Structure 1
Amino acid sequence: MKKMVMWGVGAFTVLTESGKLNKETLFAFLHSKPLLAWSLKPNTGTSYPVIVDEDILNLPIPILPQAQQLQIQQKITESFELRKQSKQLLENAKRAVEIAIEQDESKAIQWLDALN
């Protein structure tokens, strides 16, 4: 695996794509349960655990075939879009409840209908 480009900024490390692995696939790998469990082992610090940059750069990251990476990329992108939509729907529902309380339920329904 080609080394990832990295630069440290205080309490976190920024990784960028190397060309062999897209950022969504790396995101999914870095958020996997086995990796998260492993990441607690080599950390330093007591009250605020820290993983040193060298440990991150030396992770054995599997390079998946491009077709699989594309599937992961699509799913991650879709999940972010759905999350964004759900936040917007929640905000709309909150506003509709406010309108129903301040005015009446029919005004809230009209407001919701106008959004579509």
Structure 2
Amino acid sequence: MKSVLSALAVAIALPASADTLGPYTDLLVFGDSLSDGGNIAAATGGITPVPLFYPNGQFTNGDTWATTLGAAPSLSTFGGTNFAFGGATAATSGPNQDGFDIPDFADQRALYRAAIDGSAL
């Protein structure tokens, strides 16, 4: 009976607390080529990804999920909230074939912290 009451209390409290948070306004993105909206192209001067195959600077023939979702009226990835780099890994990535040192997850988090007040995360 005690566990049923606890579960009921949690179920009642969750929707109430979610309402007080308000709507989402930004989309914060970390990741690899599936999320990179052109960061590695900008960092390498357009060398990577190969412009012949990826003229939009992304590793896709269209927008990434992050770019598409970030274009929603209530969300934005503009203004520097997409820190994903094509070729990145969760651990140390090292340089790519063009000699560019690809920011891994820890590096992406550091870029994020540098872009804000530094006390987040």
Q: TM-score, normalised by structure 2?
A: 0.23
Q: TM-score, normalised by structure 1?
A: 0.24
Q: Pick the structure with greater CA Rg.
A: 1
Of structures 1 and 2, the one scoring higher in RCO (CA 8 A, sep 6+) is: 2
Indicate the structure with greater helix content. Answer: 1
